[in-house]
Amino acid sequence: MTPESSYTSKVEEWTEREMQLNRLHEEILAKRESLLRTSTNYFKQQNHTGRDRLNITNNATLRNKSLIEDIEELEDEIIAENDEGPAPKFLLLKNNYWSMVKGMLPLWEEAIGMKPSRQSSSVPSPKPRSTPKASRRIK
């Protein structure tokens, strides 16, 4: 090999190596820029997420306070209704029910054999009367 060809081959090797290093340097710079953009976007998103989380928390706190106030108002209304006593319609229904039970009790006791029959065995026992169904709804 001649010194000139040796020198030329060395220059070509160095040039090729320098080009490889330049490409590698450009790739590293591109990756760095990409990572920098990604981290910037991530921190911006975290900042927005923190604000959003704060807004959600504040809204939930306000909603919870409102619900608690509504519950307390309803509790007060229920207590006031209980202090007034039962409604007249309820008392009427209750009295009618118990009078029906008192009237039917002897028949039920006969049916289950707790009391001796009032009638002789030759007379068939009366059928229990059915209670009339309410024709309208009670409010």
Q: Is the dihedral of CA 58, 62, 68, 71 positive or negative?
A: negative
User: Does residue 26 surpass a pLDDT of 90?
Assistant: yes
The neighbour count for residue 104, using CB atoms within 10 Å, is 14
Nearest CA to 87 out of 136, 138, 135, 131 is that of: 138
- Which residues 6+ apart lie within 8 Å of 131 measured at CB? 100
Which residue from 127, 126, 128, 132 is spatially nearest to 96, judged by alpha carbons?
Answer: 132
Name the pTM for this structure. 0.37
Does the pLDDT value for residue 2 go beyond 70? yes
Residue 35: the pLDDT is 95
Contact (Cβ atoms closer than 8 angstroms) between residue 119 and residue 125: yes
Q: What is the mean pLDDT of residues 16-22?
A: 95
Chain segment 34-73, per-residue pLDDT in tens:
999 999 999 888 888 878 888 999 999 999 999 999 999 9
For residue 81, the model assigns a pLDDT of 83
- What's the pLDDT score for residue 87? 84
pLDDT tens-digit series, residues 105-129: 999 998 888 776 665 455 455 555 5
Task: List CB contacts of 106: < 8 A, sequence separation 6 or more.
Answer: 115, 118
